[in-house]
Amino acid sequence: MLVPASAATEEQSANFSRAVALSKSSTISDQAAARVIFAELSSQGIKEAKFNLGTLLAEGKGGPVDDIKAKALFEEVAANGLPQVYFNLGLFHEKGRGGPVNLAEAVRCYERAAAVGDATAKFNLGGMYADGRGVIRDVAKAKYYYDQAGKAGFVAGYYEYGLLCSSNFSIFVDEFNARWNLDRASSAGHAGASYFLNRYVMAGGKNTEMTVSIYLSRAESSSAEGHMQVALLLLEGRHCRREIEQGMVWLRKAVDMNLPEAKLLLAKYLIKGEIIEQDISRALRLLKEAETRMDAEAWYLRGTAEMEVAATPEAIDKAAESWKRASDMGFLNAHLAMARRLKAHVDPDTRQVIKYLNRAADQSFDAKYELACLLLECPYQFRDVDLALLLLSDLANLGQGKAAFRLYLFHATDGSAKTHKEKAPGFLTLAVSKEYYPAYALQAKIRLEQYLKGDPTGAGDAHLLLKKAAESRDLNAISMLSDYHADPRYGSVDMAEAYRWRLLAAAFTPDEKNTSFVEWEKKTSMTIREEGEYLARKTYDRWISDRMAVEDREISRYRKQAESGVVQAQLGLASAYELGRKVPRNLSTALAWYLVAGKNGSKEAVAAASLLRKRMTAGQVAEASITADTLSR
């Protein structure tokens, strides 16, 4: 909150001070009263009151978030010569609040704020230059702004400077500056820096005045915010090896110290169920505990958790209520969640879907794309082809490959009078150039047709396109790549490769759309199937380990329970591998789990193993026996 202008009257100053006090209250009615007073003072021309009113509107204090009005007030104040507002404007442009994301303008605003000494603006500028957002990436400038932020009292500046010189807890990029800046941040109480230096010393780092125990003690004795800093360092893997388990230990410490931000982050992980086991009931308890921080994101998370509890109409309505509240507070993901929830309804209210997509379109390319597609596909009374094409063209010009591909589909297949078939190939080429992988499969199909008509380069080009798209898990490309290797018209046949991609296609295809392996088994020998399964498993394991793909939740749950000795989970995991359901089929792994379950007393597993052996090579059976022995230990 800013203090009133020196030119204000005594009465205005008193009212201003009263509004500042009310705005700091935790009571919504007091905050609402502050809004009223600041609004009245704003009408009297006091620019500091406009700034404070904008801050209340942006933070959702005393009423719903109103980013559009807040941004308008900030812009008006900036035009009237109040430089402190430029940080707020920079944040709004960076996050797409109150209008579209404009990173270049965000940088300009941060620079104006930094010029008058705003430490946080200097820190944010360091991040923009470090990541190349809104500017050309410039590590030297990033370090400069981080250093300036640190000198201005924003300790995290020294920390980020140090991280830019570091990698994997072994500081070798610029050892002196890394160690010096991290030490400055550690000395000022930054727990993340202390923990990094602790790991650096443990890894054999030299020239440090302090020992492991001192750095670790600094980190462990820090505040809840400090524990959160360490958690984020490890969970995000920023300039160091990502360590989920250690990161969760530190996050739980921050939760135990009642840090609302930590509770929200843990709730998010528990809802997603990706890096820790899903636990919706605990997530809801955490969200309830964090009610003092029930901001827009918290309401969105609550709605997401409620959707996971049950798919009943009551649960869906309850979730929608939370999402609506988050949407009214301006949270982007909530706009999209509401739009998609309404769109999925048996009889969707198109007008409402458009409303929520419009809310999100200024902040999200995805929302703008969804809105354009809806305007092309919705009932006649809502259809707006001109606006849809305009939105898609804007996105395509900004490098959005899927928008270019949608323009291709429109001009190539739509029966509208506004189609121009001669433009279609250009949009397909643009989509491919922007690495929109669904376009690769179609381009590959065209090149294969050209090859069959006499173009000698067509098959090679198609293979490269399909392979690149398949590595990005595009199902059409994966299926086409399998067919490519099995078709003698395109060159040498490689049935093991064909079988590999067929297995991967099935693993990533929803059960209701999955295909049978019967025909493929008839066409291939046991030896080729064995090689194909081996190749598929290697590819799948690489995708999972490199986080290029996420393992299905049910399979992850089976795996954890199976490894802890639950027989039913061992049977379920074995069946999944045998059928190729949600994992690439691998008979060796399937037999291994049947053997383990059989050792644990399952007659069903013994019978299944006996039948499965008849479909396997001697090598597969031997591998399964070795794996089973390892799993049983």
Between 103 and 140, the more confident residue is 140
pLDDT of residue 515: 54
Residue 256, pLDDT above cutoff 90: yes
CA–CA separation, 55 and 73 (whole Å): 9
pLDDT (0 to 100) of residue 378 = 86
- Would the pLDDT of 187 be above 80? yes
pLDDT at 546 over 80: no
Kindly state the DSSP code that residue 92 receives in the 8-state scheme.
H
Q: Which two tokens stand for residue 153?
A: 């009292």
**What would the pLDDT profile of 370-423 be if each residue is shown by its tens digit?**
999 999 988 888 889 999 999 999 999 988 999 999 999 999 988 777 888 899
Q: What is the DSSP string of 167-193?
A: -TT---SSHHHHHHHHHHHHHTT-HHH
d(CA 47, CA 603): 80
If pLDDT is split at 50, 70 and 90, which confidence band does 158 have?
very high
CA–CA distance, 297 with 180 (Å, rounded to integer): 37
Distance CA 23, CA 38 (A): 10
What pLDDT score does 459 carry?
92
Share of the chain above pLDDT 90, in %: 49
- pLDDT (tens digit, 9 = 90+) per residue, 555-596? 988 998 999 899 999 999 999 999 888 999 999 999 999 999
Which pLDDT does position 131 carry in this prediction? 87
Distance CA 28, CA 25 (A): 8
Provide the mean pLDDT of the chain.
87
Q: Distance between alpha carbon 526 and the CA centroid of its chain, in Å?
A: 41
Q: What is the pTM of this model?
A: 0.65
The closest alpha carbon to 471, from 405, 399, 546, belongs to 546
Lowest average pLDDT, out of 292-306, 543-557, 614-628, goes to 292-306
Label residue 608 by pLDDT band (50, 70, 90): very high
Q: Return the exposure string of 40-53: e unless at least 16 CB atoms fall within 10 Å of the residue's CB, then b.
A: ebbeeebbbbbbbb
Find out whether 474 and 435 touch, Cβ atoms under 8 Å.
Answer: no
C-alpha R_g of the chain: 29
Residues 6+ apart with CB under 8 A from 509: 475, 515
Average pLDDT estimate for 209-215: 79
- The three-state secondary structure class of 85 is helix
- Distance between CA 251 and CA 391 in Å, rounded? 41
CA dihedral sign, ordered 93, 96, 100, 103: positive
- At 522 the pLDDT is 72
Residue 108 has pLDDT above 60, yes or no: yes
Higher-pLDDT residue of 168 and 324 is: 324
Mean pLDDT score, 298-313: 82
Q: For the residues 619-630, what does the mean pLDDT come to?
A: 92
Closest-CA residue to 538 (of 581, 482, 496): 496
What pLDDT, on the 0 to 100 scale, is given for residue 440? 95
CATH level 2 (architecture), domain 304-433: Alpha Horseshoe (1.25)
Is the pLDDT confidence value at 190 over 90? yes
Is the pLDDT confidence value at 2 over 80? no
Cβ count near 542 (within 10 Å): 12
Rounded to whole angstroms, the Cα distance separating 290 from 414 reads 50
Both tokens of 546, joined, read 């490199």
270, 302 contact by CB (below 8 A): no
Q: Is pLDDT above 80 for 309?
A: no
Eight-class DSSP state of 4: P
Is the sign of the CA dihedral 58, 60, 63, 68 positive or negative? positive
- The mean pLDDT of 321-326, rounded to a whole number, is 86
Nearest to 52 by CA among 102, 15, 107: 15
Higher pLDDT, 323 or 206: 323
Residue 347 pLDDT: 83
Answer yes or no: is pLDDT of 292 > 70: no
Contact 257, 227 (CB under 8 A): yes
162-188: string of b/e by CB count within 10 Å (b at 16+)? bbbbbeebbbeebbebbbbbbbbbbee
| Cα–Cα dist 165/179, whole Å | 9
Minimum mean pLDDT range among 14-23, 50-59, 186-195, 274-283: 274-283
Q: Can you say how many angstroms the Cα of residue 493 is from the centroid of all Cα atoms in its chain?
A: 39
Q: How confident is the model at residue 60 (pLDDT cuts 50, 70, 90)?
A: confident
The pair of structure tokens assigned to 332 is 């982007």
pLDDT at 149: 95
> If pLDDT is split at 50, 70 and 90, which confidence band does 294 have?
low
pLDDT at 513 over 70: no
Long-range contacts of 562-569 (CB under 8 A, 24+ apart): 562/593, 562/596, 563/631, 565/600, 567/597, 567/600, 567/601, 567/602, 567/605
- Contact at 8 Å (CB) between 341 and 323? yes
Looking at residue 513, the DSSP 8-state letter turns out to be G
At 119 the pLDDT is 94
Convert 138-147 to b/e letters by CB count within 10 Å (16 or more is b).
eeebbbbbbb
- For the chain, how far is it from start to end, CA to CA, in angstroms? 63
- Res. 229: pLDDT tops 90: yes
Residue 285 pLDDT exceeds 90: no
